[in-house]
Amino acid sequence: MSQTQENFKVDILAEGFHSSGEFEKKHLNNYFEIIWLKNGKGNHQIDMIDHAYEGSVLFFLAPGQVHELFSSEKTEGYSLKFLASVFRLENDFVDFLFDTCLLDSKKSCPVITVPDHLNDTISELFFRIVEEYTRRLPGADVVLSSYLKILTTHARRIKDSYLSREVHLSKPQYTLFRKFRILVEQHYKTKHSVQDYALMLHTQPRSLNAASRKFADRSALEIIQERIILEAKRKLYLNGVSIKQLGYELGYEDPAYFTRFFRKNVGISPQYFKTAILES
C-alpha cells in the first residue's frame, strides 16, 4: 500500500450517494475527515447532535466521532479523510485540531457555510485533490498535504468571521483556554480534575475557570466532564460496550461511581441510555 493510500482517502459524493453507503447509517470516524457538501439540504447528525445544512457547507470530523447524514434534497460533494501523520509539524496539527471546529464549544461552528465568493476556490481545491489522489504519482502525499493546508486555512478564515472580537482582544486568556482544551482532548480518560490541568499548564484553577467561562460559557470542570460523557455516549451508541468496561476505559475503577457520574450529567443511567439505543 502506498503512502498516499495509507494517509489519504478521497470520495466523490455524487447524485444518489445518500441512498446507500456509510453516510446513511451511524458511522465511526477513524480518520480526520473534511466533508464538503456543495449543494442540497438535510441534517448531519454528529455525536447524536443534529446540524441542519443547506447549500454549500463544510464539516470537520475527528477520529472517534459518530456521524450520520440525512439528505432531504439532492446532495453532491466530496469527502477527504486523512491521518494525523500527514501534518509534518506538531504546531500545524494543533492549529488544525483546534481552529477548524473539531473541538466543540458554544462559540464553535460545526457547520461552516461557504460564502458564495469562495465556492469556486473550494471546488477547484477538491478537483485538484481528487486528481492528485487518483494519479498516485511520486510525492502525492506532499501535494495533498499542501492542498489540505490551503483548504483548512480558508475554513479558519470563515470561522474567524464568526468569532466575536473578544477572542482577539483577550489573546493571553484565549491561548490558555486553547491549551486547556487540547490537553483535555489528550488526557480526559486519566485526568478528571481542574487541578490536574492547572498543574500541567502552570496556572491556577481559578484562571482556567475564568478562561472557560469567557470562551465556552461554562466552567473548566464542566468542559472536562462533558468530554468524558461524550466519549461514554459514543461507545454506548456505537458498540454497546459493557458499563463496567466503559467505566474502566474512562478512568473509573468503581462501576457504581461511574454510573452515578453518568446519571448526574445525563439524567439517566448508562444502562438505560444503552438500552434505549439498542431499541431505537
Question: What pLDDT is attached to residue 28?
Answer: 58
Dump pLDDT digits (tens) for 17-33.
433 344 445 555 668 88
Q: Which domains does the chain have, with CATH numbers?
A: 3-162 (2.60.120.280), 169-279 (1.10.10.60)
Per-residue pLDDT at 242 exceeds 80: yes
156's CB contacts (< 8 A; 6+ apart) are 95, 99, 100
Neighbours of 254 (CB within 10 A): 12
Lookup: cell for 47: 455525536
Q: In what order do the strands lie in the sheet with 57-61?
A: 8-13, 77-82, 32-37, 57-61, 112-113
Residue type at position 166: E
Q: Would the pLDDT of 76 be above 80?
A: yes
What are the grid coordinates assigned to 95, written together?
Answer: 492549529
- In this predicted structure, the answer to whether residue 90 has a pLDDT above a threshold of 80 is no
Distance CA 102, CA 115 (A): 20
Could you give the count of Cα atoms lying within 13 Å of 110 in the half-sphere of its Cβ? Answer: 19
pLDDT tens track for 108-161: 566 889 999 999 999 999 999 999 999 989 999 889 989 998 998 898 888 777
pLDDT of residue 164: 56
In 3D space, the residue among 62, 66, 82 whose CA is nearest the CA of residue 133 turns out to be 82
Beta-carbon contacts of 84 under 8 Å, excluding residues fewer than 6 positions away, are 32, 93
DSSP, res 23: G
Three-state DSSP class for residue 221: helix
Mean pLDDT of the chain: 83
Give the pLDDT of residue 17: 40
pLDDT band (50, 70, 90) for residue 16: very low
What pLDDT does residue 149 have? 87
Residue of higher predicted confidence among 162 and 129 = 129
pLDDT band at 268 (very low <50, low <70, confident <90, very high): very high
DSSP 8-state secondary structure symbol assigned to residue 34: E
Nearest to 278 by CA among 238, 251, 246: 238
As a whole number, mean pLDDT of residues 157-182 equals 75
